[in-house]
């Protein structure tokens, strides 16, 4: 679950049954060789802020098998993929 705390209440923003959000972030960070220090999620977020992204629908969701192909072909940059995950 993706949960936010606001106005003294927790709110569920989203759920998934297949891949936990943290695991998805970790997988993308590993594929892009993003360091773990201070955390993969923080580093993915910083990379997502760098450049204006291409249309996110082109890259959602960044899947393990698709990611290397998009990078090799030049269709996507690491920044694009991080943005689409965010």
Task: Give the mean pLDDT of 24-41.
Answer: 90
* Domain contains 5: no
* Domain contains 46: yes
Distance set, CA 46 to CA 10, 18, 24, 38, 86 (Å): 26, 26, 16, 12, 10
pTM of the predicted protein model: 0.63
* Overall domain count for the chain: 1
Tens of pLDDT, residue by residue over 34-49, are 998 999 989 999 998 8
The whole-number pLDDT of residue 63 equals: 58
Domain that holds residue 28: 19-53+61-84
Taking the CA atoms of 76, 27, 56 and 38 in sequence, report the sign of the dihedral they define. Answer: negative
């Amino acid at each position: 679950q993706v949960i936010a705390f606001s106005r003294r209440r927790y709110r569920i923003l989203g759920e998934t049954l297949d891949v936990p959000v943290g695991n998805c972030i970790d997988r993308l960070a590993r594929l892009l060789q993003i360091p773990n220090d201070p955390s993969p999620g923080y580093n993915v977020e910083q990379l997502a802020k760098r450049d204006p992204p291409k249309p996110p629908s082109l890259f959602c969701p960044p899947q393990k098998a698709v990611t290397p192909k998009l990078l090799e072909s030049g269709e996507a940059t690491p920044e694009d993929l991080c943005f689409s995950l965010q």
